[in-house]
Chain A
Amino acid sequence: MKKGHFGATVAAPVFKRIAERSANYLAIPSQVVRNQTLAITNHSALD
């Protein structure tokens, strides 16, 4: 299987596009500003 067929190459960018547009549509405040993570301070990430 060619490298260009992998999910990481083909499916992952689609996840990014749809997730970011969905977040916009759902008016979810951004968490990351200039590569600095806000509010998320631990690995639990589910608080």
Chain B
Amino acid sequence: MVRPATGEIVAMANLPTFDPNNLGASTPDARRNRIISDIAEPGSTFKIVVVSAALNENISKLTDLIDCEHGNFQYAGYTLHDAHEDKYNILSVEEVVAKSSNVGAAKIGIKLGPEKLEEYVRRFGFGEPTGIILPAKFAALFVPCPLEQDSITRIPMGHEVAATPLQMCLAMSAIANRGVLMRPRLVDHLEDAEGKVIARYPPQVARRVVSETAAQQMVAALKTVVSTNGSGLNAQLDFYTAAGKTGTAQKSVGGKYVSGNSFRHSSGSFPLTIRSFAFQWHLMSRA
């Protein structure tokens, strides 16, 4: 849980966890901070990257209509399917986000082009260390151009890329923070024994990722996800406004997807005010 305006990490939790007073009773697996060291395909939560990029480049508007091919899109010799039972025909860009159409996101990616897509993936902080002052094993992966022919249809839906939960949370934070990506912040200041402040660690801007206008449009689209028209209705809050995105991705072992092993993500921000929080929830299944 991150405060988008400052990058402050308000809360971070892992399960399974361990008792630091009894390290011997825990396994190395349980002692790992998965939020900063484990990577997974972000699935549809990653659609915020391609859609906000298209909005920022003014190549798409939320009201633009996209033919979602009834959920079956042939491209580069492969067929891309929509994940849900509903087979969508014509959707607006906003509805592509709300309904989480893979085909719609792929077509936005094709319109954006591989170079711009890669540029925005990197702008959002994927493929680079977050800068958190904790030891982390992975900087997260991103395959540079030239991409495989069908990658332009897969990356927009969060496949063929990998990210840590913290990276995904910071990306969502950038949207909630008017388009500005912040460095994660763990410590505000240090005091000596007398309580005198001896060091301060102010918020650090990583970079502007998209314009304020594009970020506001993305927030508007993400609000529809958490509505009766959206795929994330189960995340709707009773007493607060929220914007978010859910995602699902299969686990990859040895370069191949393993059936039954999946990651489920939800990423969002609430309440929608300047004092909002961004939130990332990441669940791995061995079912």
Q: Tell me the A residues contacting B by CB distance below 8 Å.
A: 1, 3, 5-16, 18-20, 22-23, 26, 28, 30-33, 37, 39-40, 43-47
Q: Tell me the B residues contacting A by CB distance below 8 Å.
A: 1, 11, 43-45, 83-85, 100, 176-178, 215-217, 219-220, 223, 231-244, 246-248, 250, 259, 262, 264-266, 268, 270-277, 279, 281-283, 285, 287
Total number of A-B contacts with CB less than 8 angstroms? Answer: 140
B219 close to A30 (CB less than 8 A) = no
A12-B232, A20-B238, A32-B241 known; A7-B270 Cβ under 8 A = no
Question: Which residues of chain A are within 8 angstroms of B176 by Cβ–Cβ distance?
Answer: 46
A47 close to B238 (CB less than 8 A) = no
Cβ of A41 to closest chain B Cβ, rounded Å: 11
Question: Which residues of chain B are within 8 angstroms of A39 by Cβ–Cβ distance?
Answer: 273
Q: Which residue on chain A has the smallest CB distance to residue B221?
A: A43
A7 close to B271 (CB less than 8 A) = no
Q: Which residue on chain A has the smallest CB distance to residue B257?
A: A1
Question: Which residues of chain A are within 8 angstroms of B83 by Cβ–Cβ distance?
Answer: 1, 6
Q: Which residue on chain A has the smallest CB distance to residue B13?
A: A18
B216 close to A11 (CB less than 8 A) = no
Question: Which residues of chain A are within 8 angstroms of B85 by Cβ–Cβ distance?
Answer: 3
Cβ of B182 to closest chain A Cβ, rounded Å: 14
Query: How many angstroms between the C-alpha atoms of A13 and B268 in the bound complex?
Result: 12
Query: How many angstroms between the C-alpha atoms of A47 and B223 in the bound complex?
Result: 15
A15-B281, A18-B279, A46-B276 known; A23-B271 Cβ under 8 A = yes
B220 close to A43 (CB less than 8 A) = yes
Please give me the 4 A-B residue pairs with the lowest Cβ-Cβ distance, nearest first. Answer: A30-B239, A7-B246, A12-B234, A45-B272
A47 close to B283 (CB less than 8 A) = no
A7-B248, A31-B240, A46-B178 known; A12-B266 Cβ under 8 A = yes
Question: Which residues of chain A are within 8 angstroms of B43 by Cβ–Cβ distance?
Answer: 7
Question: Which residues of chain A are within 8 angstroms of B231 by Cβ–Cβ distance?
Answer: 8
Question: Which residues of chain A are within 8 angstroms of B248 by Cβ–Cβ distance?
Answer: 1, 5-8
Cβ of B193 to closest chain A Cβ, rounded Å: 30
Question: Which residues of chain B are within 8 angstroms of A13 by Cβ–Cβ distance?
Answer: 234-235
7 additional contacts, CB 8 Å, given A16-B236, A20-B237, A23-B237?
Answer: A18-B281, A23-B270, A28-B271, A40-B273, A46-B176, A46-B272, A47-B274
Q: Which residue on chain B has the smallest CB distance to residue A23?
A: B240
Question: Which residues of chain B are within 8 angstroms of A1 by Cβ–Cβ distance?
Answer: 83, 248, 250, 259, 262
A15 close to B268 (CB less than 8 A) = yes
Query: How many angstroms between the C-alpha atoms of A47 and B282 in the bound complex?
Result: 29
